[in-house]
Structure formats: structure tokens, C-alpha cells
Amino acid sequence: MSKPKNAFYAQSGGVTAVINATACGVIETARKYKNKIGKVYAGRNGIIGALTEDLIDTSKENKRAIAALRHTPSGAFGSCRYKLKSLEENRREYERLIEVFRAHDIGFFFYNGGGDSADTCLKVSQISQKLDFPIKAIHVPKTVDNDLPITDNCPGFGSVAKYIAVSTREASFDVASMAKTSTKVFVIEVMGRHAGWIAAAGGMASDKDTDIPIIILFPEVAFDRKKFVARVDQLVRKHGYVSVVVSEGVKGPDGKFLSDQGLRDAFGHAQLGGVAPVVANMVKEDLGLKYHWAVADYLQRAARHIASKTDVEQAYAVGRAAVRMALKGDNAVMPAIIRKSSRPYRWTVEKAPLDKVANVEKMMPKNFISRDGFGITEKCREYLAPLIRGEDYPPYRKGMPRYVRLQNKPVKKRLNTRFEV
Amino acid sequence: MSKPKNAFYAQSGGVTAVINATACGVIETARKYKNKIGKVYAGRNGIIGALTEDLIDTSKENKRAIAALRHTPSGAFGSCRYKLKSLEENRREYERLIEVFRAHDIGFFFYNGGGDSADTCLKVSQISQKLDFPIKAIHVPKTVDNDLPITDNCPGFGSVAKYIAVSTREASFDVASMAKTSTKVFVIEVMGRHAGWIAAAGGMASDKDTDIPIIILFPEVAFDRKKFVARVDQLVRKHGYVSVVVSEGVKGPDGKFLSDQGLRDAFGHAQLGGVAPVVANMVKEDLGLKYHWAVADYLQRAARHIASKTDVEQAYAVGRAAVRMALKGDNAVMPAIIRKSSRPYRWTVEKAPLDKVANVEKMMPKNFISRDGFGITEKCREYLAPLIRGEDYPPYRKGMPRYVRLQNKPVKKRLNTRFEV
């Protein structure tokens, strides 16, 4: 029997609280099939590591370190924002990938990312055949944006959703306590430039047990200051306070981001602000209400300490499934999460062809947003509920979560060629 | 034996993740001494509830609901920002308090708050004797600002400290993953207008196990843009990235808050921004580095989901001690946390005289801040370490923390007088 081919794994784009759980799934599963997969090499800083032949030898990491990836947020091998151009525009890059893969006897390509990386993965699969170095290219889904098609949801999203739902509930309790004499409006800004998935999760802060007045500002709904302020006024009159969950991607009627207010400091320098202070300021100007605002930013997608158990399990499962699919001979596919039932929640992982995944953005269904544009529907709740279910706490030492840092030892270079990215 | 006197309990000022744990300690302990304490009435929205005779009958809440206060953030009875003036300026308010206490047969006054409420509590004790209605007035410490004297630390602070330390670690892992091609500087804004206790906690994100390049901007240290930018540059060159923890109270050399930049929108309207975007923008202007920034705001003090176990235990303990002190006949005192040893951590609760507590602000010791002004010393670490120790997770249902809401049933009014606050 010939020596088994090695595997290449890379993390792409914005990282999440559970992308390392996927890496854990890939590496632990590959290690179970040592007769079929050689070593797993990871790209240092994502695909850039492949282009520059900067590979990490994950076989140097012990079992315990790899297991600890499951509870460690961020990208253990480094990620990058680097979109490969189309084959026509930059064939050189794809050829370079194959050159590096050939030099290191790579037979499996696992690319862990969002829509762009699905496209790259598909192209790598195509060109590898043309260049007569066929490899099994599997895209492994990851994105807090939750915008990949076919898969019911994307690993990474469930944990952000849980973080935003929990944080919004907690802050709402706080503002409710203060509302009599002080803050009456709390604004939290959340990620999601194109779609309101994460903002929708803020709606889960309120449920039948714990009713909370919440206004959600979705990127899907053109912002109308008058309507918004009227709704704030109405809810503050009724409940004494209100929480506003605003997506960073909210646009005004002019189609421009609401956050892009052309802010200038006293010296006339441009200042980049978030959308939360802009919205909060409107509440003050129009209603004279005292506000507080928060911008969660990276905290939301890095918050492994409050990750969703469903999300961690699915992140691991798609990593494991990716390896199994590759071993079965699948190529140019993505392990997709298929929901079989919401109550009780049942799901499986099935393969989706990459040409159906690449370059397709899944938007929030219209019937997930309430008619007034400020809330979520029962359908949306049914969708989100299982994704935030369960806690999966990391281990702690002296009060702090123990997140692993790998040694990330380099694989010896075999090519003498430099490649500029 | 005469009927035992009732107790009055009120929450004051900004709420915390554990102030309800103190309420739990007060109420559960009082219920154990039914022959000595009658009912515990709570002020609806703090001391305003006493002034307006808007009292809540906590005896209507069942055991389970009171127990759940221990894991519920915010102020269950409502808090307020309402500082009673001095006796000379507004004797009427103090007399009114006594009038209400007299009407409801209150013999014990438990006031749960920071420095201002310690002062109020002391005055209530004084005037009650003058008006020949002596009550036992106990101040119960609470403040995320950690600035009360005598007590080693203030309930509420440890949980914020843990939240900031954990969040900074998580976000730092995130930015480290992205730094090769994207974000290199992450800025997190934390509370603390006058003292850098909370900012200091950001330094705990980095330790011997998990080294992270962190710059802390303290309100105690005048901000020097040149020095700050040089330090960012140095750390990014060395580590590839840096995290900046900035206190909302940081001031420039002109003595003005750095956040107060006189921001104007495109229409010339004043905009209130945080200090995080201001600092982040400097990094971009001076070094051209890509940044992300977060403002934790209420999230940090409401984050019961990641509360410190030490903090929860101490919050409960000061509530319990307050009742025990009152029963022993103590008056005008505060249960203070006394540290007996840092390693191993041992503490007790002892009484501190209120006249030594009121109107004294405890600042960070100079030797807690590193010589360059950007970090914390070993001494500071030794102080902070036990305060963030241990996890104390709330119960969850369907992925969400189950925080209790009390019924807050009113006590029947006995006075026919209105009182305007």
C-alpha cells in the first residue's frame, strides 16, 4: 500500500468562538484514519500559508492540545482576509496552491470559511484536475453571518446568537432597574453588515417567561427615524424602558449606512463611530430620554465562555464529516447541517455540492421579521431556539478560561520559490 | 414580648451582577430571625420608594423566588440615582424618611450602595436619634467602582473584573488570528470614571500561561498620545497585534475627558461618542493600522452569566452580616470585607464605622500601576486574582439564563401625605 496522502486545513475570514472546534473535528478524525490520511498540515494565517508554503505540522501537537481546540475561540493557526481572484484573473495563485500541495503530497484540502472560501475551494478542486493533481477539496462551513445556502445554519452563528440574546437580557434587566430616575433606553450594536441574523437573536432575550420590550433594527428594513422614535416612546411609556438591538448594517432611506454620519472632531478630522451612538443620540434629541449604548464587536464572536452547546457540537461535526466525506471520495462538497425537526431538535450532516454553495448568499426570510419591522416572528424563534440551546463551558484556572495555544511548528519547506501575496 | 420591628432595604445607584445576591442575603437571614425582625420591606426604586411610601412587601415572595435573587443580575426592586442632600440643606427629606419608617414600624434600615448611600445611611442614623425614633442603620457595600474605603473590595467589582478579563482575553485571541492581513489593534472601553480598578482588571487577561500584549489606559495617568502610539507600534511590531483597555475616565493633558472630543455630525449636531473610537482613530491616523473597538457599557456590570464566585459569595455574605450586625445592636456601620491572606485567599466580614466610610473615595494605589503607566504590577495582580476566582453559573432554560422577576407587591400605605421627589 502506498503512503497515504497528507491533508491541508486552513481557516478563512473572520474567526468565531467555535472554528477551532471544527479544526479539532478535522484533526481528531484524520488521526483515526492514519492508514488513509498522513499528516494534517495547517496553513499559517489561512490560505496565505499555502501560497507562501508556510505550513504548520499539526502532528507535532499532542492529543490534549488538539482536544483543547474544542473549547478555544479564535483561529488557532491564524486566519486571513484574502480572497483569491477568479481563475481567469489570477490563475497563477491557483497554480501555486497546486504546486505547494504537490510538493507536500497533499491529497485533501479542507477549507474552513464562509461564502468566499466556498468559491475558492470549488476552484481549487477544478484546477487540480486540470493540472492533473486531483485532490479532494472539501469546504467546511463557518460564519457568524449565517449566510451560507443549503446548510440550515452556519457554525459560529449559534454562539454569537446566544451571546447577544443573553447580553441583551442582562442589560435589559439592568436598564429596567435604573429607568425610574436614570437610563430608559439601552442600545446594543451587533454584527451583520448584510443580513439581520445576529440582530434577530437579540429578540430571543425576550420570551414568554421573561417579557422584555425590545426594538430590533435590521439591515433588511430601511431605517425610518420617525417610526423608530415613536416606537421607543410608546414602549418607554408602557414599560418604563426599552432595549434597542441595532445591526451595524442598518441603512437610512438614502441607502447609506446609518453609522456613516460624517462625524468630525473639534479639529475637523473624520471620526469613525458605530451606529449605536447615532441611534442613541436620536432618542435623546427627539425624546429627551437618557440612554446608554454598547458595541459588542469582537466580544460577541470570541465569547467562547458563553458558547452554545448546539453550536460547538455542530462545529465539531462538520469537521469530522468533512474528513469522512473526503475519505469516501467526495470532492467539491460541503458538509451541510440539515434540520430534520425543530421540536424536538434533530439534525444531521449531509453533503452539499459546492457549485450550489459558492457565491450564493442566504438572506433572512421575510417572514422572520415582524410586520412592523421591529421584531422577530414565531417562525424566527422556532428557527433560532435550538441554535442557542445548551451551555458548553470551557475549563477555568484561577478564574480565567484555559484556552490553548498550539506550538504551530513549521513544516520544512520543499520549494525554493518565493511567492508574494 | 413586643412585636418585632420591620426592616427596610433599598438598592442605590448603578446596579451590578450581584447586588441581588446581597438582597438575597439580607432577606434570607432576616427570615431566619422572625422573632427579632418582622417583615422586610424594600424601597421601590431605591430610597425614592421610602420617600414616597412606595414599599414592596418581600414577605409575599416565596422561598424559591428569594433564593433565585442570588443568581439574578440588576436590582430586583429597582434602584435610583437620587442623592439626599445634606441635613442642613434638606432636613425635610430625612424627616420624611423617619415619618415613613415610623408609620411602618421600621426598626432596621439596610441601604445597599456606594459612597453616597453610606453618607445617607449615616445621616438617617443620626436624625433618627434626634427625632426619637432610633433605628439600626446599616450600609451594605455595593459598587463596581470598587472605591469604598476600609472594605478590601466592593461586591459587584469582582464580577465586572472577571467579565473584562475574560472578554479581553477572548477578543485578544480573535485579533491575534486576524492580525496578519486585517485587524491589528483591538480597543475595549470599560467603566470607571474616577478610578482605574476595572481597567486594571483587563490586565488579568494576560498571565504567565497566556501572554497577551495589552496596553491599559488608566484615568490615573494623563493620556499622552505620542507615548501611547509609540507603545502600540512597539507591541504590534513584536507580537503582530495589541489589545488596548481604555477606561471611560481617561483624560488628556488638558484635564478634559478624552471622550469629549466635541464630535459633530454632518449637520453640525453634537454627538456623544465613547473614548474607544477616539483612541482607535489615533492608531489609524498615526500608524495606519486597522482596528476594531468595543464598548462594554452595561454588559460588563450586568453579566451575571460570567460572575465571579468570590464576588457572589461576598455579596451574599455582606447582606447576611448586615442583618446579624443589626440584630446585635450595631448602628451606623458597614459590613466590610477584610482580607486575611491573598494566597491562599482568606477573608472575613467585619464592621466598619460609617463615619469612616462616608465621603471617602479609595483610589488605586500608585504601586498597582506599572512604571510606564500602561500596565499593572504584581502587587495589583495579587490583589485582583482572588476577586475573579471561581465561576457561579446561573441556571438555564432553553439556552437562556433564568433570572427571576419578583411580584413586588406593594405594602398598603398608612400615610395620607404625598411627597414630591
Asked if the model's pLDDT at residue B255 lies above 80, the reply is: yes
The dihedral over CA atoms of A409, A411, A415, A421, expressed in degrees to the nearest 10, equals: -50
A window 205-234, beta carbon within 8 A of B: 205, 207, 209-210
Residues in chain B with CB shorter than 8 Å from the CB of A405 are 210
Distance CA A170, CA A179 (A): 14
Reading the block at residue A106, the C-alpha cell is 497533499
Phi/psi at A338 (5° precision): -110, 125
CA nearest to B295, candidates B275, B314, B280: B275
pLDDT averaged over chain B?
95
CB contact, 8 Å: B401 with chain A? yes
Residue B269 has pLDDT above 70, yes or no: no
Q: Do B265 and A263 touch (CB under 8 A)?
A: yes
Is the alpha carbon torsion for B183, B184, B190, B194 positive or negative?
A: negative
A212 CB neighbours in chain B (<8 A) are: none
Q: Which of B183, B310, B399 sits opposite A389 (nearest CB)?
A: B399
Q: Which residues of A touch B274 (CB under 8 A)?
A: 277, 295
Tell me how close the Cα of A242 comes to any Cα of chain B, in angstroms.
14
Alpha-carbon span B88 to A56, nearest angstrom: 73
| pLDDT-based confidence at residue B1 (cuts at 50, 70, 90) | low
Of A204, A207, A272, the CB nearest to B277: A272
Q: What is the pLDDT of residue B271?
A: 54
Q: Tell me how far apart the alpha carbons of residues A210 and A175 are, in angstroms, rounded to a whole number.
A: 15
Is a pLDDT exceeding 90 seen at residue B85?
A: no
Residues A190/A192/A196/A199 CA torsion (nearest 10 deg): -10
Q: Is the pLDDT of residue B44 over 60?
A: yes
pLDDT tens digits along A41-97: 999 999 999 999 999 999 999 999 999 999 999 999 999 988 888 888 888 999 999
Would you tell me the crossing angle of helices B19-32 and B309-327 to the nearest 10 degrees? 40
Chain B residues touching A385 at Cβ < 8 A: 398-399
In the predicted model, residues of chain A with pLDDT beneath 50 are none
Catalytic annotation, residues of A: 145
Among candidates A171, A173, A211, which has minimal Cα distance to A189?
A171
CB distance A293–B292 less than 8 Å? Answer: no
Q: DSSP states of B209-245 as a string?
A: SS---EEEE-TTS---HHHHHHHHHHHHHHHS-EEEE
pLDDT digits (tens, 9 = 90+) for A83-110: 888 888 888 999 999 999 999 999 999 9
- Residues B285-326: tens digit of each pLDDT: 999 999 999 999 999 999 999 999 999 999 999 999 999 999
Helix-strand-coil split of chain B, %, nearest 5: 40, 20, 45
Percent of chain B with pLDDT over 70: 97
A75·B389 Cβ contact <8 A: no
Q: How far apart are CA A312 and CA A162, in angstroms?
A: 12
d(CA B184, CA B187): 10
Find which of B157, B295, B408 to mutate to test the A interface (most A CBs within 10 Å of its CB). B295
Tell me how far apart the alpha carbons of residues A41 and A38 are, in angstroms, rounded to a whole number.
Answer: 9
Residue from A381, A400, A403, A406 whose CB has the most chain B CBs within 10 Å, to mutate:
A400
Partners of residue B273 in chain A, C-beta under 8 Å: 263, 271, 273, 277
Candidates B20, B267, B297, partner chain A, best to mutate (most A CBs within 10 A):
B297
Picking from B207, B281, B393, the nearest residue to A400 by CB comes out as B207
**Pairing, β B400-401 against β B396-397:** antiparallel
**Burial class of A297 by CB neighbour count within 10 A (0 to 12, 13 to 18, 19+):** buried
Give tens-digit pLDDT for B399-410. Answer: 999 999 999 999
Q: Does A382 touch chain B (CB under 8 A)?
A: no
Nearest-by-Cβ selection for B75 from A177, A204, A280: A177
Contact: B79, A391; criterion CB under 8 Å:
no
Q: A185 has which bridge partners?
A: A242, A291
A365 touches chain B (CB under 8 A): no
Indicate the residue of B74, B272, B399 with minimum beta-carbon distance to A177: B74
For A263, nearest residue in chain B (alpha carbons): B265
Q: Report pLDDT for B275.
A: 93
User: What is the least distance, in Å, from the CA of B248 to any CA of chain A?
Assistant: 13
Q: Nearest C-alpha of chain B: how many angstroms from A328?
A: 32
Contact residues for A27 (Cβ-Cβ < 8 A; gap 6+)? A9, A40, A58, A61, A66, A69, A319
Instruction: Give the model's pLDDT for residue A365.
Output: 96
Q: Which residues of A touch B76 (CB under 8 A)?
A: 177
Kindly report the number of other CB atoms within 10 A of residue B226's CB atom: 8
Q: Which of residues 259-288 of A touch B (CB under 8 A)?
A: 261-266, 269, 271-274, 276-278, 280-281, 285
Say yes or no to pLDDT of B272 above 60.
no
Q: What is the pLDDT of residue B89?
A: 87
- Of B145, B147, B330, B392, the catalytic one is B145
Q: Is B296 on the interface with A (CB under 8 A)?
A: yes
> What residue ranges define each of the domains in chain B, with the CATH number in brackets?
6-143+307-360+391-401 (3.40.50.450), 157-302 (3.40.50.460)
Interface of A with B in 150-169 (CB under 8 A): 162, 165-167, 169
Instruction: Give tens-digit pLDDT for B337-385.
Output: 999 999 999 999 999 999 999 989 999 999 999 999 999 999 999 999 9
User: Which CA distances in Å does B286 have to B208, B294, B382?
Assistant: 31, 20, 35
Residue B155: band (very low, low, confident or very high) from pLDDT cuts 50, 70, 90: very high
| pLDDT recorded at residue A418 | 87
Per DSSP, what are the bridge partners of residue B189? B246, B295
Whole-angstrom distance, CA of residue B10 vs CA of residue B23: 9
In chain A, the percentage of residues whose pLDDT exceeds 90 is 89
Residue of B nearest to A309 (CA): B399
Instruction: With beta carbons under 8 A apart, name residues in chain A contacting B293.
Output: 295, 297
What are the CA-CA distances from residue B87 to residues B92, B126, B128 (Å)? 8, 10, 12
B-facing residues of A in 96-135 (CB < 8 A) are none
- Name the pLDDT band for B64 (thresholds 50, 70, 90): very high
Beta-carbon neighbour count of residue B260 at 10 Å? Answer: 14
Taking contacts as CB-CB distances below 8 angstroms, the residues of chain A near B43 are: none
Task: Name every chain A residue with its beta carbon within 8 A of the beta carbon of B399.
Answer: 162, 165, 204, 308, 310, 385, 388-391
| CB-CB contact of B169 with A72 (8 Å) | no
Contact pairs from chain A to chain B, CB under 8 Å: 261
From B169, B150, B156, B161, select the one nearest B190 (Cα to Cα): B161
Taken as a whole, chain B contains a residue count of 421
Q: Are A306 and A166 in contact (CB under 8 A)?
A: yes
Taking an 8 Å cut-off on Cβ atoms, the answer to whether B178 and A14 are in contact is: yes
In A312-351, the residues whose Cβ lies within 8 Å of chain B are none
- Give the nearest partner residue to B299 out of A205, A294, A301, using CB atoms: A294
Shortest CA distance to A53 belongs to which of A23, A96, A10? Answer: A96
Residues of B in contact with A264 (CB under 8 A): 263-264
- Contact residues, chain B, for A299 at CB < 8 Å: 167, 170-171, 188, 294, 296, 299
Give residues 24 to 53 of A whose Cβ lies within 8 Å of B.
45-46, 48
Q: HEC profile for chain A?
A: CCCCCEEEEEECCCCCCCHHHHHHHHHHHHHHCCCCCCCEEEECCCHHHHHCCCEEEHHHCCHHHHHHHHHCCCCCCCCCCCCCCCCCCCHHHHHHHHHHHHHCCEEEEEEEECHHHHHHHHHHHHHHHHCCCCCEEEEEECCCCCCCCCCCCCCCHHHHHHHHHHHHHHHHHHHHHHCCCCCCEEEEEECCCCCCHHHHHHHHHCCCCCCCCEEEECCCCCCCHHHHHHHHHHHHHHHCCEEEEEECCCECCCCCECCCCCEECCCCCEECCCCHHHHHHHHHHHHCCCEEEEECCHHHHHCHHHCEHHHHHHHHHHHHHHHHHHHCCCCCEEEEEEEEECCCCEEEEEEEEHHHHCCCCCCCCHHHECCCCCCECHHHHHHHHHHHCCECCCCEECCEECCCCCCCCECCCCCCCCCCC
Of the given ranges (A65-69, B18-22, B277-281), which has the lowest mean pLDDT? B277-281
SS3 for B158? helix
Closest-CA residue of A relative to B273 is A277
Q: Do A178 and B15 touch (CB under 8 A)?
A: yes
Mutate to test the interface with B, among A297, A314, A393 (most CBs of B within 10 A): A297
CA dist A170 and A181 (Å) reads 19
- Please list every residue in chain B whose beta carbon sits closer than 8 Å to the beta carbon of residue A308: 399
The secondary structure element, H or E, covering residue B419 is: none
Q: Which residues pair with A264 in a beta bridge?
A: A270, B264
Backbone angles phi, psi at B163, to 5 degrees: -60, -45
* For B403, nearest residue in chain A (alpha carbons): A210
Beta-carbon separation of B170 and A305 below 8 A: yes
End-to-end CA distance of chain A: 38
Closest residue of B to A170, CA-based? B302
Residue-level pLDDT at A272: 56
What pLDDT score does A261 carry? 67
